[in-house]
Chains A and B, each alone.
Chain A
Amino acid sequence: MSDKHTLTDFEEFFDTTPMSIIIVQDIHNIVYANRSFLTTTGYNFKDLEDITLIDLIHEDDRPIVQERMKILESGGKPDDSMQVRIVRKDDSVALSRIFAYDINFNDKPSRIIAGVNISAEPLIEQSSELVSSVLQTLTTHSELGFWVDDINDHTVFINDRMCEYLGYTLEEISTRSVTDFFHPDSQELYYQVLKERTEGHLTASSYELVLINKEGRPNTYRVIGSLLYDRFGSSIGSVGFFTNIEATKKLSLTVSVLNKYALFSRFKDLSTFWKNVLHDLSDIYYADGGMIFLDGEVLAKQGDFANNFNPQDILEDIAKKGENIIHCRGNCKHISKETNSAVISVLHLNQLPAGFILLSSNIENLFYPEDLDLILAFSSQISLNYEHHFLYLQSEEEREFVSVLLDILSHDFLNANTSVHGYLELLDQYVDSEDRERFKSYIKRSMSVVERSERILQTVQQLTKIQKERKTRKTVIVRPLLDNAIDVQKSMFYDKTVDVKVTTIKNLKVITGDLLQNVFENIINNGIKYTNDKEVQLDIECKVVQEEDEERVEIKFIDYGVGIPDEDKPLFFKRLSRGDNRFQSGSGLGLYMARVLINSYNGTIRFENRIQDDYTKGSAVIITLPRG
């Protein structure tokens, strides 16, 4: 605005704008009011001669306004805009956003104040028919759901889109509380939002609500809502604009779950992993039951299933039909009697159906077509991740195996070659000498090195066998394997008397591979070898132990030998040079290989002292394996 104005400069605008406009001089005196102001407040020009600006302000808001007036009186400049309650002539209240600017009006410094009514009260105070008609016009063609309720949570207005979202008619909705359509978790959130608004923390806010439609399907909505006030400034209900975000919400949650479970190695064990996957997927798709079946095993399960529900049969059926996803609606009694809808999505390994993810619910028609696409995409991706994980582990195992072979070749064979080469050089030096004893000793040593090379080769062959068979699994009874191993090892120590005491429960079984007896032999061999007495005592104790939620078998080999210092204990299971005799084994399998084998059988192996804190009293080798 320019510095000097007369009313005629703005008359046309002032008369037509819906904004209420007044002009004030000397801070307090109202010298002009436009038509909208007079209509909105109920005052006439005569009334305005008898009142000042502060009289228009609700008494609770007067301190703020007076503060601004003080700033003006002292020549300062308060904020241009504020929110304030205006009191009408009939004492009703309208919440307004006002804007104030300095102008020069009729040759005198003045302040023009423009106000916009920001409460919905003018609409509500009209007849409900008129309100409905206006709102219907405003919102019929909208993609947004529009819902107004009163203070008792009863519907005052709802547009067609919102009815369509909920699947109910206006009559059905009108007879119930709005919160009846809310998911239980959302009811709590809704009351929290209302409380915050009423207490004045929020005038309008955006939040997410889950509503249940007529078919029982939950849907998530982004809601922008606000309280409604009456003319006296009291809350009379609320208004909300609803956008259905169910599809995008599911997409983003599914992707985030996929990211969360992308790296299998982060999880301590795969059983926990799959349980978490099933739990998170069930949450996203509102499923109350489910199962993850893969490679012949039920990896995770929640809810009850029918007695005749056989996951392998389901998988074979799906594979036969060549389908990747099955959507069951209504008649899903083959899953369980409570199941009225289910999705079974195939998991592939090596491009062949190897399992499935099943999500189920008692709500009929729970799953939307777009849900099926997402669940299928999730299954495909998690299958790939799972496959990659095992390929990675396999490649690591192969790498370790190759490294061991290279180690043997580059170290043990190199040493053997150096020795034989050296002794041949010496023989060459002494070929014409009379020192036959020296000559013989070089030949003897060379032969001994060559024999050792042969044993190295046998070890390499044994390792190759381990590498091939480490994937095979079978359930075996522990006792016969122990008895065979004890007999073999006793026969190798003809100069010692060996007494082995075995304690085990009958028919105790473990899940293992073909070479478990070799591991037992190796441990028994060490126990006998490192007991200096001619009479050797060994105890073998077998029992079932609980590790988290898995039953395992613990086999403890106790000897009364020379023992192992604590600092050396970890070294016994490492691949080491052949020079240290403690690491040699009469059975051809060192402790390194025992560890490799036991680990490949999903087992553990460790050393302890027979008597805690005194290694000199003998050792205990403890193996755990999955119970068969």
Chain B
Amino acid sequence: MATIFIIDDEETIQFLYKEGLSLEGHKIIGTAHDGSKAIEDINKLKKYPDIIILDHRMPIKNGLDTLKEMKRYKIIAKSKILFITADPTVREEASKLGVTSFIQKPFSIIKLGKMISEIVK
């Protein structure tokens, strides 16, 4: 079981993560619509989440910009980031910032749950 923080601007997708990932026994400990709010909330948590699911395509602050800020706050070193993008250039830049796990939409929520179980095993 993993603790997960979700950063995605779409409420419907957030809800899907909550429902789908709980099937595999994972616990959603927080959600945010944009990167700034996410960092603020994560820094308030008693314990960093095992996994942060971060969507790249978001208004105001996109996934890459959020990653840069996360690196500054050393969040990347403490949580595993699952970065959602299909853009190879963005992936390359995200890799440089320390991201090792990528997924792209559309994905199977069931498979994603299993994948997270493997990551935190």
Contact = CB atoms under 8 A, between A and B. Distances in A.
A580 B106 contact: no
Given A422-B16, A445-B15, A579 B10 contact: yes
A580 B9 contact: yes
A583 interface: yes
B89 interface: no
Interface string B1-24: 000000011111101100110010
Contacts of B106: 414, 417-418, 421
B38 to A, nearest CB: 13
B96 to A, nearest CB: 24
A419 B16 contact: yes
B60 A419 contact: no
Contacts of B59: 571, 576-577, 579-580, 583
Interface residues of B, number: 23
Contacts of B57: 411, 577
B20 A426 contact: yes
A423 interface: yes
B8 to A, nearest CB: 8
A334 B57 CA distance: 65
Interface in B73-91: 86
B15 A418 contact: no
B12 A577 contact: no
Decide if the interface of chain A is mainly helix, strand, loop or mixed. Answer: helix
Contacts of B58: 577, 579
Contacts of B15: 445
A580 B58 CA distance: 9
Interface string B48-65: 000000000111100000
Contact of A418 (B13, B19, B23): B13
A578 B109 contact: no
A423 B16 contact: yes
B115 interface: no
B9 A579 contact: yes
A448 interface: yes
B27 interface: no
Contacts of B109: 421-422, 425-426
Contacts of B33: 579-580
Nearest to A449: B12
B105 A418 contact: yes
A6 interface: no
Interface residues on A, range: 20 to 34
A195 to B, nearest CB: 68
Contacts of A417: 105-106
A415 interface: yes
A426 B110 CA distance: 8
Contacts of A442: 19
Contacts of B11: 579
A423 B109 CA distance: 9
A417 B60 CA distance: 23
- Residue in A410, A415, A426, A429 whose Cβ sees the most chain B Cβ within 10 Å: A415
A580 B57 CA distance: 12
Contacts of A583: 59
Contact of A578 (B10, B16, B19, B105): B10
A228 B9 CA distance: 90
B80 to A, nearest CB: 21
Contacts of B107: 418
Given A577-B57, A583-B59, A419 B13 contact: yes
Nearest to A423: B16
Nearest to A411: B57
A89 B32 CA distance: 110
A583 B59 CA distance: 10
Contact of A445 (B8, B12, B108, B110): B12
A425 B57 CA distance: 24
Given A571-B59, A577-B58, A579-B33, A425 B12 contact: no
Interface string A412-445: 0011011101110110010000000010001001
Nearest to B23: A429
B35 to A, nearest CB: 12
A556 B33 CA distance: 32
A429 B10 CA distance: 23
Interface in A429-472: 429, 438, 442, 445, 448-449
B9 A425 contact: no
Contact of B12 (A414, A419, A568, A580): A419
Contacts of B12: 419, 445, 448-449
A421 B105 CA distance: 10
A415 B105 contact: yes
Contacts of A580: 9, 33, 59-60
A410 B59 CA distance: 16
A469 to B, nearest CB: 28
Contact of A415 (B13, B19, B86, B108): B13
A438 B33 CA distance: 24
Contacts of A410: 86
Q: Please list the 5 inter-chain residue pairs (A to B) with the smallest Cβ-Cβ separation, ordered nearest first.
A: A579-B9, A418-B106, A422-B16, A422-B109, A576-B59
10 contacts: A411-B57, A415-B13, A415-B105, A423-B16, A426-B20, A577-B57, A577-B59, A579-B8, A580-B9, A583-B59
Interface of B: 8-13, 15-16, 19-20, 23, 33, 57-60, 86, 105-110
Given A425-B110, A426-B16, A580-B33, 14 more contacts: A418-B16, A418-B106, A418-B107, A419-B16, A425-B108, A429-B23, A442-B19, A445-B16, A449-B12, A577-B9, A577-B58, A579-B8, A579-B9, A579-B58
